[in-house]
A and B are shown apart, each in its own frame.
Chain A
Amino acid sequence: EIVLTQSPDFQSVTPKETITITCRASQDVGYSLHWYQQKADQSPKLLIKHASQSIVGVPSRFSGDGSGTDFTLTINSLEAEDAATYYCHQSENLPFTFGGGTKVEIK
């Protein structure tokens, strides 16, 4: 099973800051790495697919990069509405797995 390790676990930031969340895979997943945002009491929502492909309707301040085992999600100029937990997910090998999540708090 591929283990996805996210860092940091938690980050407290002020509006307009830029943050980067990292997801490291225990094996090569190519570009089969996706990012989701889950706000409190809501279903997760797809933010970025295949490492860096943007999703229609997702603000352009969200971007992804990486391949192989190292990936990043960057949120530029954070807004209050970005308070959420962010998860990475690999679909390269069964069983599919998720990272442990990164909780982002807006001060």
Chain B
Amino acid sequence: EVQLVQSGAEVKKTGESLRISCQGSIQTFSSYWIGWVRQMPGKGLEWMGIIYAGDSDVRYNPSFQGQVTISADKSISTVYLQWSSLKASDTAMYYCVCPLSGAYWGAFDIWGQGTKVTVS
């Protein structure tokens, strides 16, 4: 079964750095695009960006560019979402997603279980 497994919940202080991860059980992980979606408390879904695990080509949502960094380590089938200086407004649930079509413009067939980030 194809799965994306995310790292656990984080509680951080304003100004701290953070990296959360998403590991895929997908065969040929490096052939897929993996994206990130934010959901702030009680709110809807926002697409943050997507990375090609094979060569780390990244497409960012302009709303998030410069605020976060998306990276990948294909040797361990893992994608990361990183902040250098957290704000209280980064408090949210973050999901990693994968279009199984192999193209970044596909539907998000697979979702991780979510990583809850709390910043105070």
Interface residues of A (CB under 8 A from B): 32, 34, 36, 38, 43-46, 49-50, 55, 87, 89, 91-92, 94-101
Contact = CB atoms under 8 A, between A and B. Distances in A.
A34 B108 contact: yes
20 contacts: A34-B108, A38-B45, A43-B95, A44-B45, A44-B95, A44-B108, A46-B107, A46-B108, A46-B109, A49-B109, A55-B109, A89-B47, A89-B107, A89-B108, A91-B105, A91-B106, A94-B61, A95-B47, A95-B61, A101-B45
Contacts of A95: 47, 60-63
B102 to A, nearest CB: 13
A97 B95 CA distance: 15
A-B pairs, top 4 by smallest CB distance, nearest first, are: A49-B107, A95-B61, A34-B107, A43-B111
A46 B109 CA distance: 6
Interface residues of B, number: 21
B105 A92 contact: yes
Contact of B44 (A46, A50, A98): A98
A101 B106 CA distance: 20
A97 B99 CA distance: 15
A87 B107 CA distance: 12
Interface in B62-77: 62-63
Contacts of B109: 46, 49, 55
B111 A45 contact: yes
Contacts of B60: 95
Contacts of B62: 95
Nearest to B109: A46
B54 interface: no
A88 B96 CA distance: 17
A60 to B, nearest CB: 18
B44 A101 contact: yes
